[in-house]
Structure 1
Amino acid sequence: MSIFAFKDSIPFTYDGEKYYLLNVGWVDVDYVVYRKALITMDKMTFEDSEKTFTNLSKVTNKEARDQLKFYLNKDKEIVKINNNQEDKEQRENLSNSEILNNFKREDVKEIPNSSYGLVEIDRAGARSRWFFVEIKDGKLNFISEIPDTSPDMSGTIDENGSILLVCKDINGNEKQYKSTNLGKSFELIN
C-alpha cells in the first residue's frame, strides 16, 4: 500500500471490480495494474491484464482508459516504430536510386575487374558526395553512400574479394576504406 502513497495511481472500475493503474517507471512510462482485493492489492501480469481488459469501453475513468490502451498496445507500438524505420530506409534507398537516374555510365569511375564503380553525385567546394554503385545491363544500381567526402577517389578489389577505396583530399592526405560485404558498408582502415 505504501507505494500508492508515493506514486500517482489512476483508480478505475471494470466489470464491477476496482483496479489501480500505477506508473512504476521513473523516466520512461511503465505501467502495472493492481486489482483491489478485500484488504490487499494484487499485482496483475501483463498477460492477465490483456485477458481481463478485453473491452476498454467498460473502463469508468477516461484517463485510465487512455493509459490502459497505451499499456496494452506497447509491443504493437514498438513494432510500428520499427516498421517506420524500415520504411524510412526504403524511401532513402529509393531516393538514392532516383538521384542516379540523372547520371550515365560515363559518369562512373569504374573499379577495374569488377562491375562496381563510384559516382560523384554532388560537389561543394573541397567536398564531394559519392555513391558506390553496381553497373548491371548498363544501368547504375545504388549500393551505398561512401562515408568519405574527399574529391579524389579510386577503388580496387583485392584477391579476397574485399573492396578497397583510396580517398585523397585537396591537400594530398589519404584515407583508405575497406568493404567485406560487397560495398554495403565501408570501414576506415588507416
Structure 2
Amino acid sequence: MIGLGFLAGYLVLIMSIFAFKDNVPFTYDGEKYYILNEGWIDENFVVYRKDFITMDKMTFEESEKTFKSLDKITNIEAKENLKIYLNKDEEINKKNTQEEAREEKEIQTESQILDNFELEDAKRIPNSSYGFVEVDRAGARSRWFFVEIKDDKLDFISEIPDTSPDISGLIEGDGPILLICKDINGNEKQYKSIDFGKTYEPIN
C-alpha cells in the first residue's frame, strides 16, 4: 500500500508538471519521449522517457548519448528544442562572447572619447597612477571616467556612478579605492571599489 501510495504521488507530480509546462512528444528509435521547457523566463529544457505508465526524467548526459542523430525525429518543434538543449553550452559561450564583444566595443568608444583629453585634464588620486577625467558637463551634472595614467596615456577603466561636479579619491597601497563626491550644495556621497576601479559600491 505504501509503495502504491508513492507511485500514485509520483504520477500526480508528473501529471501536474505536464499539465502546466509546454511539452512536446516525439519518438526516437521506437521509444516515446517528451521534451519540456521547465523555465519561466529563460528556456530550460528537460527530456522525459515514457516507460510504460511512468515518466523517467533523463539527465543531460543521458540525452546527449541517446539522441545522436536528430534527423530521426520527425516532430520539427521537438527537434528544434533538442538542438537548443543539446547545444546549450555552445549557446552560453556564444552569449558570453557577444557580451564580451559588446563590452569591448563600449571600452573602445570610451577610449576614443579620452583621445580628446590630455594628461593635464586628469584629476589624479594622490600617490597612485589613477585619476578622474571630466568628459562632459551639463549644468550641475558631470560625467566622469575613472582612468589609469600609464606610459603617458589615459587608459579607461570605468565610468564613475555619480554625476557630482566635485570628485576626489583616496587609495592606500593595494587597498580599496575611496571616492568622495560632492554636489553643488555640498552634499557628500562616498563610494568604494575593491577591484581597482572597475566597479563601485556606495558606502553611505
Which band: TM-score by shorter chain? Answer: 0.7 to 0.9
Give yes or no for the alignment of 1:168 onto 2:175: no
| CA root-mean-square deviation | 2.7
Residue pairs, 1:83-162, within 5 angstroms = 83-158=97-172, 161-162=175-176
Supply the AA of the counterpart residue of 2:32: Y
**Further displaced range: 25-34 or 43-52:** 25-34
Partner of 1:61: 75
**Cα distance change of structure 1 residues 21 and 170 upon mapping to structure 2, 3 Å threshold:** same
Shift of 1:144: 1.8
Tell me the alpha carbon deviations over residues 32-91 of structure 1, each in whole angstroms, 9 at most, x when there is no partner.
Answer: 334445x34552332222112111111122222112212222233223223322222222
**Pair 46,187 (structure 1): closer, same or farther in 2 beyond 3 Å:** closer
Farther off after superposition, 26-35 or 147-156:
26-35
Cα distance change on mapping 1:56 and 1:172 into 2, 3 Å: same
The alignment-based identity, stated in percent, is 60
Partner of 1:20: 33
**Would the aligned equivalents of 2:39 and 2:45 in 1 still touch at CA under 8 Å?**
no
8 Å CA contact 2:38–2:46 kept in 1: the answer is: no
**Higher-helix-fraction structure:** 2
Note if contact 1:50-1:72 (Cα within 8 Å) is conserved in structure 2: yes
Note closer, same or farther for the CA distance 1:87–1:5 as it changes in structure 2 (3 Å cut).
closer
> 1:9, 1:99 → 2: CA distance?
51
Structure 2 unpaired stretches of 5+: 1-10
CA distance in 2, matches of 1:174, 1:114: 23
Q: In the alignment, residue 129 of structure 1 is paired with which amino acid? A: R
Gaps of 5+ in 1: none
Matched, 1:52 2:66: yes
Q: Distance in 1 between matches of 2:18 and 2:192?
A: 59
Cα distance in 1 for residues equivalent to 2:167 and 2:55: 66
TM-score (normalised: structure 1): 0.82
CA shift, 1:8, in A, is 5.2
Q: How many residue pairs are counted as aligned between the two chains?
A: 188
Alignment CA distance shift 1:31-1:150 (3 Å): closer
